[in-house]
Amino acid sequence: MASGGSATPAPEAITGLILAGGRGQRLGGVDKGLQPWRGRPLVDHALARLAPQVRTVMISANRNAALYATRTAQVLSDATDDFPGPLAGILAGLRAASSPWLAVVPCDSPRLPGDLVERLARGTGDARGAVVQRDHGEAGLRLEPVCCLLSTTLADDLAHYLAGGGRKVEGWVARHARPVLFDRPGKHPGQLLGRSPTMQAVHADLPDTMFGKIATLTITAATGTSLSGTVEERVLSAV
């Protein structure tokens, strides 16, 4: 049963958790949450979007804890220093939360829907969690496992999963969380309508000097499962 029966969790019963504890390997090892986007670090955008939807917010960070601590949020670190993945940050959040529910989002989510947590809360039903699901057209429905709402009663179950060598976020989250659809197909093939809570990868041919940097791209092609784009020449000449 869901924590507190099948009643929809209220905002005051939910603690938010921003995951910023990864290695940032796809960005050359930089701390992704501190990378600028539209003049502010990504984590600040996520914090501004999530904070009004929950009682309080925590940040999972394994590096630059002092910088993250300047925000109005408690900073958590994993129990180990080997970066075992997002689930370790989620476990720390489940154990530290003073509320019955934990809303989890990634730090690279500057456009979180203003009703993200509310929609997940309505979708829990009698389950102990809810997770964002997106419609990828011909590719089918897929989960966004690090955008979810979880009962804090799942802490021991997650600890057992990690102790047994489990690392797959989607595999564990899907066992406990009901999917909540946030997108629907558009009128044309590969087109989606709705709001994606996370940033989507775009394929682009760029010089090595752009590695680890964030820039605005122009989308030049799209399929049901991928996007391609280019960066303006003036941006490339500046790096």
Structural domain contains residue 83: yes
Structural domain contains residue 128: yes
Is there a single domain that holds both residue 106 and residue 155? yes
DSSP state of 71: S
DSSP state of 37: E
Is there a single domain that holds both residue 177 and residue 77? yes
Ordered alpha helix ranges (H), 148-225: 155-163, 169-176
pLDDT at site 224: 47
> Can you give the CATH number for the domain in which 141 is found?
3.90.550.10
In which order are the strands placed within the sheet that holds 56-60? Answer: 74-76, 56-60, 14-19, 101-106, 141-151, 129-135, 178-181
Is there a single domain that holds both residue 31 and residue 136? yes
Which residue, chain included where needed, has tokens 């999963």?
161
Give CA–CA dist 60/234, Å, rounded. Answer: 36
Beta pairing partners, 218: 230
Is there a single domain that holds both residue 97 and residue 157? yes
Is there a single domain that holds both residue 30 and residue 73? yes
Beta pairing partners, 179: 131
**pLDDT band for position 39 (cuts 50, 70, 90):** very high
Structural domain contains residue 4: no
Which of 97-106, 140-149, 209-218 comes out lowest in average pLDDT?
A: 209-218
Reference 61, options 37, 81, 36, 39; nearest CA is: 81
DSSP state of 203: B
| Residues spanned by the domain of 211 | 201-237
**3 state SS of 229:** strand
Is there a single domain that holds both residue 154 and residue 228? no
Is there a single domain that holds both residue 153 and residue 75? yes
Is there a single domain that holds both residue 37 and residue 100? yes
pTM over 0.85: no
Is there a single domain that holds both residue 135 and residue 51? yes
pLDDT at site 216: 73
Is there a single domain that holds both residue 102 and residue 26? yes
Structural domain contains residue 46: yes
Structure-derived torsion over alpha carbons of residues 76, 81, 84, 85, reported in degrees to the nearest 10: 40
Higher pLDDT, 8 or 188: 8
Is there a single domain that holds both residue 111 and residue 206? no
pLDDT at site 83: 57
207: left (phi over 0), alpha (psi -120 to 50) or beta: beta
Sign of CA dihedral 71, 76, 78, 79: positive
Q: Structurally, how many domains does the chain consist of?
A: 2
Give CA–CA dist 7/33, Å, rounded. Answer: 34
Structural domain contains residue 228: yes
Is there a single domain that holds both residue 152 and residue 207? no
